[in-house]
Chain A
Amino acid sequence: MSTLLGEAVKRGRAGSPVKELGRKTRPALRPNGRNGSGGGSNGGMGGPGGAGARAPILSNGRVGLWFLLGSITMLFGGFTSTVLVRRLADDWSVMPIPSMVWASTAALILSSITAEVARRQLRSGRIEGALNWISVTAVGGLLFVAGQWMAWQQLLGQGIMIQSSARSGFVYLLMAVHALHVIGGIVGLTLVYRKVTRLRGAVAMAAANGGGVPLALAGGRGAIESLSNFNTYWHFMGGLWIYLLILLFVS
C-alpha cells in the first residue's frame, strides 16, 4: 500500500529540527505553501478535518435535487427569455384562459398541501397516514395533468391549435413540458411510496417490542428525506405552474 513511504513515516518527533528548518528557511517575502488553498504539503492544517467522517451539510438527495431544480430553472429560463422577446412583436394575440386551467391549478396546489400533510404524518411516525396522503398527492398530480389535457381540448374547441399563433405555440408547448415534469414527479413519488411501505415492517417490529416508534431506524430517515425532497420538487412544480400561467395567459 503506502509501504513505499512506510519507512519515511515516523511518529511526530518533537520535530524541532524540521519545524525550525521550515520556518527559518522560508524567505520572508514569499507567501508559500502554508496558506489555505495553496495547500502546501500538509501545512499546519494537516490531518483529516475533524475526527472521523465529516457529515455533509446537505444529504446527497438534497444536493442533487437543488442542482436538478437549477437545471429545470434554466430550461424554463430559456423559454422565458424566448417568450418575453416574442411578446414584443405586434402579433401577440389574445389568449383566453380555458376554465379547466383553474381546476387543474387548484388540483396542483391542493396536492402540494397534501404532500406537506404526508410529510408531517411520516415525521410523526404515522406510516399508514403518510401513505394515504401520498396517494392523494399522486392523484392530485394526475388530476392536474388530466385537467391540463382538458384545457387543451377547450382551446381546440375554440379553434386555437398549437400552430395557430406564436402565443398558442408557447401555451401548448410550455404546458406540455411542465406537465411532463409533473409526470416525472409522480413517477418519483411512486418510488418514495415504495420506500415508505418498506418502513411498515420495521415500525411494526419496533412497536411490537414495546416503546414508541423511533423513526430514526435505518431507512426511516431516508424515507423522510426522500419525501422531503419530493415535496420540494413538487412545490417547485406548483410555483413554476403559477409562473407559467402568468407568463402565458396574462396579457
Chain B
Amino acid sequence: MSTAVAGVAQAHEAVHHEESFIRKYIFSFDHKTIGIQFLFTSLFMGIIGGTLALLIRLQLAWPGRAWPILGALMPNAFPNGIMRPDIYYSLVTMHGTIMVFFVFTTALVGGFANFLIPLQIGARDMAFPLLNMLSYWLYLPASIIMLSSFFVDGGAPGTGWTAYPPLSALQGAAPGTGLGQTLWLVALFLMMVSFLLGSLNYITTTLNMRAPGLSMSRLPLSVWALVVTATVSLLSFPVLLGAAVMLLADRHLGTSFYLPAGIVLGGRELLHTGGDPLLWQHLFWFLGHPEVYILILPAMGMVSEVMATHARKPIFGYRFMVGSMLAIALLSFLVWGHHMFTSGMHPLLGTAFMATTLVIAIPSAIKAFNWLATLWGGKIRFTPPMLFAIGFVSMFVTGGLTGLVAGSPPISIYFHDTYFIVAHFHFVMASAALFGLLAAVYHWFPKMFGRMMNERLGRWHFWFTFLGIYGTFFPMHFMGTAGMMRRIYSPEPYAFLADIQPLNVISTVSALVLGFSQVLFLINLFYSLFRGPKADRNPWQATTLEWLAPSPAPHGNWDEGIPEVYRWPYDYSVPGASQDYIPQHVPDVAVEAEAPQSVSGNGVAEAGDSASEGEGES
C-alpha cells in the first residue's frame, strides 16, 4: 500500500479503534507500547544482571569470605555463606549473557528503535505491527527461559557468555552444562529471532514510511544509527543462529561439529570425531563483534541527538557522522578474529585482523572528535541527558583507546583473557552504551510518559554513576597488566597475583556505590512515572519530529496530521532566527535583516534562504 493509504487507514483506526486492555497494553501492536515493554523488561533484566555483577565483585574482593545474609538467602549457592566455585562461573556467564543480549541490545534497539523511529520519521506506526508485537513476545519468554536456567538441575551454565565448546558441548564438563546450557541456547535462539523481526521493521519503516520532505539526508542521526544497526544485525545474527543450532546438535544428537576426536572426559574417550572448536569461535565472533557495534551505534546516534538539543548547536559533521556509522558497520564484519589471536588460528590471519581492527578505530575517532566539536561553542544546558551524553564521550574514548592495545596481537596475547580486556569492554559497553541509554531515557521520558523526570535526582545519579564507573573499571586495567586472568573464582592460588587485592577491593567498593546509586534512577523513574510534573510537547525545545506529537504520544502519533519536513534536524541557534531552534516541520523562518554574523566567520546557515518556498505555516 502506498504510504498515504496506509497513513489514512491507520489514522482511521486510531480514531475509531476501541482496544481492550489486553490489546492495548499486553499484546500491543503500537510501537510505543512495544518499545516501553522492551525498556521495562530490559530494566528488570538489568537489575538482575547488575546484582550478579555485585556478587562477582564481592567474591573477587574478598575471596572465600562468608556472607551470612547470602548464606541465609541462598544456602545452596552459598553454603555457610561462602560462594561455591561453580556458582561463581554461572554468575559470570549469566551476567555477561544477560547484560549483552537481554539488557543493552533490547533496551537500546528493541526499546528505542521501536519508540523513536516512527515518531522521528513522521509515521503513525511501524511497517509490520504484528511482527513487532511478536518480537516483544519472543523476547519475554526468552528472558524467562534464560532465567529459568538458574533453577534447573545443574544450575545456570558456567561456560562464559561466549560458551566455547568443547566445554559447552559436553554435558558435565562444567557447571551447568546440562539442562542449563540447553535452556541458555534456546533462550538465545528466541532472542535472536525476536531481534531479527524487529530489525525488519526498523529498516522497512525507515526506508518506506518517512514523512513528506524527510529525505535520508534530513534523517536524525538516531534514526540513521538504528537503521544501520538493524541492517548489521540482520546480516550477523543468523550466523550465530546457525552456530547455536550446531551446538545443540553436538550436545543432544551426537554430532561433531565442534568436537574433535580424542576427547577424554570422565575417564572415557568420547566417540566424536572431526569437529573443530575453533569453528564456534569464528561463527560466534562473526556475530559477536558486530554485536558490540549493535550495542554502541544506537547509543552514539542518540547521544548525537541529545547533544545537539542540549547544546543548542547542530551536530558537527553530519555527513562524516553518517559516513563513519556506515564504515563502522561495514568494517565490523571484518574484525572478528581479533578475539581469537591466541586461539590457534593461523598467525597471518592475526595480522589481517589486526589491520582491519586498527582501521575501524578511525571512524570511531572521527565521531569522538565530532562530538567534541559539537560541544565547543555550544550553549550547554546541563540537564541529566546532557550530562550522560558528555559522560558517554568520556567513557567511549577511554574504552576505545584500550581497544588499540587489544587489537595489536603481540601485546594482545598478553592481555587476552585478563582483566585488561574486561576493563576495555566495560568501558565501551557497560559504560558508554549505558550512558547512551540513560541519556536517551532521560531525554525521551517526557515523550514516552508525558511527565518530566526529576532533575536533581538525575544529576546525582549521573555523578555517582560517572565516578562509580571509573572507580570500578579503571583499576581493572592494572589488574590485567599485572596478569590477572578473567573468570577466576579467586586469584589466591597465584604468587604473581599476591599483591592484587587492593585493586580488587577498590573496584568492588566502587561497584557497590555504582550499583546502589542506580536506586536513585529507579526512584526517579517510578516516581516521575506517576507524579512527575506534566510535560508539554517539546520541553527541551528540540527540532525533531517526535516533539511535535503530544506528550505522551497517542495511538497514531500525530493528532494534527502527519507533519511535513522542510529542513534537517539540526537548525539550532541559526543566526538571525528569533528562536534558538527551528523544528524540522517549519517551512520558513524570517530572519532579521541585520542578523549578526556567527562568531569568527565560521559560516552562516541559510535560515530563510529559500524565500521562494516559504509558503504557509506548518
Residues of A within 8 A of B (CB): 1-2, 4-19, 21-22, 25-27, 30, 32-34, 36-50, 52-56, 58-60, 63-64, 67-68, 70-72, 74-79, 82, 85-86, 89, 91, 161-163, 165-166, 169, 173, 177, 221-222
Let me know if B279 and A37 touch, CB within 8 A: no
A4 CB contacts on chain B under 8 angstroms? 538, 541, 579
Residue on B with the closest CB to A21? B595
Known: A8-B578, A9-B617. A39 touches B249 (CB 8 A): no
Known: A8-B589, A9-B617, A60-B128. A37 touches B611 (CB 8 A): no
Known: A18-B591, A27-B601. A162 touches B255 (CB 8 A): yes
Distance in angstroms between the alpha carbons of A26 and B607 in the assembled complex: 12
B17 at interface by CB-CB < 8 Å: no
Let me know if B249 and A169 touch, CB within 8 A: yes
B35 at interface by CB-CB < 8 Å: no
- Measured CB to CB, the closest approach of chain B to A31, in angstroms, equals 9
Distance in angstroms between the alpha carbons of A63 and B537 in the assembled complex: 33
- Measured CB to CB, the closest approach of chain A to B575, in angstroms, equals 9
A–B complex contacts, Cβ < 8 Å, 15 sampled:
A5-B583, A10-B590, A26-B604, A41-B571, A42-B607, A42-B609, A42-B613, A44-B609, A46-B566, A49-B215, A55-B4, A56-B209, A60-B205, A173-B249, A177-B242
Known: A5-B589, A12-B612, A46-B566. A74 touches B537 (CB 8 A): no
Residue on B with the closest CB to A56? B208
A32 CB contacts on chain B under 8 angstroms? 603-606
Distance in angstroms between the alpha carbons of A240 and B249 in the assembled complex: 22
B204 at interface by CB-CB < 8 Å: yes
Let me know if A169 and B200 touch, CB within 8 A: no
B253 CB contacts on chain A under 8 angstroms? 162-163
Known: A6-B617, A63-B208. A79 touches B567 (CB 8 A): no
Known: A59-B1, A74-B236. A43 touches B579 (CB 8 A): no
Let me know if B256 and A11 touch, CB within 8 A: no
Let me know if A47 and B587 touch, CB within 8 A: yes
B593 at interface by CB-CB < 8 Å: yes
A1 CB contacts on chain B under 8 angstroms? 537, 548, 560, 618
Within 8 A of A (CB), among B205-253: 205, 207-213, 215-218, 231, 234-239, 241-243, 245-246, 249, 253
Contact with A along B561-579 (1 / 0, CB 8 A): 0001111101100101111
Within 8 A of A (CB), among B247-267: 249, 253-257
Let me know if A68 and B614 touch, CB within 8 A: no
Let me know if B319 and A37 touch, CB within 8 A: yes
Distance in angstroms between the alpha carbons of A26 and B595 in the assembled complex: 13
Let me know if B609 and A18 touch, CB within 8 A: yes
A163 CB contacts on chain B under 8 angstroms? 253-256
Residue on B with the closest CB to A169? B255
Known: A15-B608, A162-B253. A41 touches B200 (CB 8 A): no
Which of B234, B279, B560, B612 is A67 in contact with, Cβ under 8 Å?
B234
How many interface contacts (CB-CB < 8 Å) are there between A and B? 277
- Measured CB to CB, the closest approach of chain A to B577, in angstroms, equals 7
Distance in angstroms between the alpha carbons of A52 and B615 in the assembled complex: 14
Residue on B with the closest CB to A27? B601
Let me know if A27 and B588 touch, CB within 8 A: no
B604 CB contacts on chain A under 8 angstroms? 22, 25-26, 32-33
B203 at interface by CB-CB < 8 Å: yes
Let me know if A13 and B611 touch, CB within 8 A: yes
B255 CB contacts on chain A under 8 angstroms? 162-163, 169, 173
Let me know if A74 and B239 touch, CB within 8 A: yes
Let me know if B204 and A60 touch, CB within 8 A: yes
Residue on B with the closest CB to A3? B617
Let me know if A38 and B319 touch, CB within 8 A: yes
Distance in angstroms between the alpha carbons of A64 and B130 in the assembled complex: 13
Distance in angstroms between the alpha carbons of A55 and B6 in the assembled complex: 11
Distance in angstroms between the alpha carbons of A2 and B445 in the assembled complex: 20
B235 CB contacts on chain A under 8 angstroms? 70-71, 74
Let me know if B574 and A169 touch, CB within 8 A: no
Let me know if A43 and B609 touch, CB within 8 A: yes
Let me know if B618 and A2 touch, CB within 8 A: yes
- Measured CB to CB, the closest approach of chain B to A48, in angstroms, equals 3
Residue on B with the closest CB to A59? B1
Let me know if A72 and B614 touch, CB within 8 A: no
13 extra A-B contacts, CB within 8 A, seeds A18-B608, A166-B257: A9-B586, A9-B587, A9-B590, A10-B614, A11-B614, A11-B616, A18-B611, A30-B602, A32-B603, A37-B318, A39-B570, A64-B200, A221-B1
Let me know if B283 and A43 touch, CB within 8 A: no
B1 CB contacts on chain A under 8 angstroms? 59-60, 221-222
Residue on B with the closest CB to A15? B611
Let me know if A82 and B279 touch, CB within 8 A: yes
Residue on B with the closest CB to A71? B234
Known: A2-B618, A21-B595, A77-B239. A54 touches B609 (CB 8 A): no
A8 CB contacts on chain B under 8 angstroms? 577-579, 589-590
- Measured CB to CB, the closest approach of chain B to A161, in angstroms, equals 8
Residue on A with the closest CB to B216? A37
Contact with A along B545-568 (1 / 0, CB 8 A): 000100000000000100011111
Distance in angstroms between the alpha carbons of A140 and B208 in the assembled complex: 34
B3 at interface by CB-CB < 8 Å: yes
The 9 closest A-B pairs by CB, nearest first: A15-B611, A12-B614, A48-B213, A39-B568, A163-B254, A75-B238, A37-B217, A48-B212, A78-B239
